[in-house]
Structure 1
Amino acid sequence: MSTAIVVGAGIGGVTAAVALQRCGWQVTVLERAAELGEVGAGISVWPPAVAVLEELGVKGVAKASVQSKPAGMRRPDGRWVVTAPDLGVELPVMIHRAQLHDLITAEFGPAVTVRTGYDVRSVTQDADGVTVDDDLRADLLVAADGIRSAVRTALYPQYAGPRYSGFTAYRGIADVDLDDGGGETWGRGQLFGFARLIDGRFYWYGTANQPAGATGEPAVFGSWHDPIPRLIAGSEKILQNDIYDLTLPLVPFARGRVALLGDAAHAMTPNLGRGACSAIEDAGALGRHLMRTDDPVRALTAYDAERRPATTKLVKRSRSVGRLAQAGNPVLCTVRDGLFAVGGKLMALRARR
């Protein structure tokens, strides 16, 4: 039986383990943390990623209930700029990261072994396989160890790696009673978004321009339209993380028998909500290519050829949207909002025709 090592047990890593398992591989998952699980808040799962999960047999990722109120883009005073139906936007499934992680790991069978508290120190490979720390040996290694991937650094020591976006993010889960479709509110150098999770709670996030390493509560949003202050007040815990993405051009996702996946390969800003979805799609593509050939090196080469161009476009698009959303110049913000409003009206008119 072919064997694989997956470094990292986040969303991408565990999805890769399920995909490899379905290919008939014996999989060892190495996780640095003491326990298997996910931290964080909500996550948007777009249709292509939902399709991959369904193909892998993951159950429970269902569409959220129909919104009773519109979702879209607003100004800080609550006035609508454009609604999602006007733009023809299909809303994703919103789910807590920990819940999605549990649904994926529920598909682990006897072919998957998990070792927690394991900090990978070295990776070497030869024509026949990959060795981790002179201890573990496998036919293939998948590096899903995040934006500061130790495996990527070992493979490409000259690569610049993570790049600070210029803004920090706040996230929380609020258990409040709201009848609001959610969406995003764009201000000057700040953004706030929220959506209902499939369990009925609300996931919210806010971003603010500031130097890396600065800390503090998201007080700027306290004067924004309802229900933003209520969402913040109704959150037991607020997370803060400076936002980084990876320097372009991205390095190859495959070298010999080692593949990069998820944030280790293409970490992007959260402005498109596609980061974890891209990791899930990586895992689906990896499994698909491994099913087509008995040669792991050929499969990884095909995986890189499919996924690197696609995710490079997403990194660029997400970075561009982030610059637009975080704009601080008042004139630019006025023009930006006006263009969105006009664009929404034109798209709505086209749809009616």
Structure 2
Amino acid sequence: MTTTNGAFMNWLRDRRFWAGVAVTAAIGVVVPVSVIASGLYNMSALPEPDALEDTVGPWMLNRSRAHRAPNTVNPFADSPAAIAAGLEHFSANCLPCHGTPSAPAAEFAQGLHPNAPPLTVPRIQALSDGELFWTVKNGVRMTGMPGFAATHDDQDIWHIVAAVRHLSRLSPEQQQLMTAPSKGHHHGGSEGGKDTSSGSMDHGTTDHGTTDHGTTDHGGMDHGSMKPAGHDVADHQTSEAESGPTVRWYTDVEQATTQAKISSVPILANFSSSEDGDVSLTLTKEVFDTTAFKQWAAAHVVLLAVEHSPKKGQADEVMEKIKALESTYAVQRFPTVVLMTPEGKRIGQLGYVAGGTDAWIQAAEAILKH
């Protein structure tokens, strides 16, 4: 009898224990759901995060990031061109929230909770390249940090990571880029990979020209007279349909010059006209649209497209500035590709070169070595 009573009491205690667990679990679910359903929980972004959110949120982020981030170093870490490209993306997309040591974040960033941290602080710089890459690519849920994978490819994101590592060592010119307003910078091409906005300079319509390897100096660029008005948002971005890097053809002389100075590389200016017939497509198809050219250009030059096409309805002011640019560099036929220093000093020029991409690049490099 005693044994039976003992077993019964143990069973009763177990029942009470598990009943207590069930009630506690139910309360743990019902109470939060009731608070949320009642609207008592404040979803406003204005209050600072409470202690629970401030503790659990970063812990969850760190665990998720460590589990998913690639274990690799930035393949573009030491590339000045990659850093320059990354800073351009940073200026347009990251600067308003995070700021830099020389440029404060935008006023609206004060309303971000959790706050967007300065990216030069030790806890950010202590992240691995892979962790920074994952954060930029995927974003952070329930914060103001978006996932850049929706608008940027992996190469662009690695460039941004390189820029983040460089933020504490910005040159005066790079600091100027960080404080200057963005002029129509965009990260996605229009249909077919080329900008189709009215009046844009289509570098894909070029004609055969003679090759001039001379190095006559025609002076520097006068930005005030050569900037093609109305083209601030007409910059080309072309990409391979299947693979290959994305390259940007600037149509604004000032932007191209600034980028060339930051990157410490020359400018390749393609003077073209869409009014010279089908032969104008040859240089683009054989050279500019190839992966080999894009890879070479991304590492060696800043690209500038200048199209002379009055029949497309280009404004008189635009045509005057294009003609002034053509006069400065003695452009007499299309296509003419002028290679110049970041300050606008002419190095040399060439046009169509038989033999395909490799032959054209070799001719361009021969000019740049002079």
Provide TM-score, normalisation by structure 1: 0.22
Greater share of residues in strand: 1
Structure index of larger Rg: 2
Provide TM-score, normalisation by structure 2: 0.21
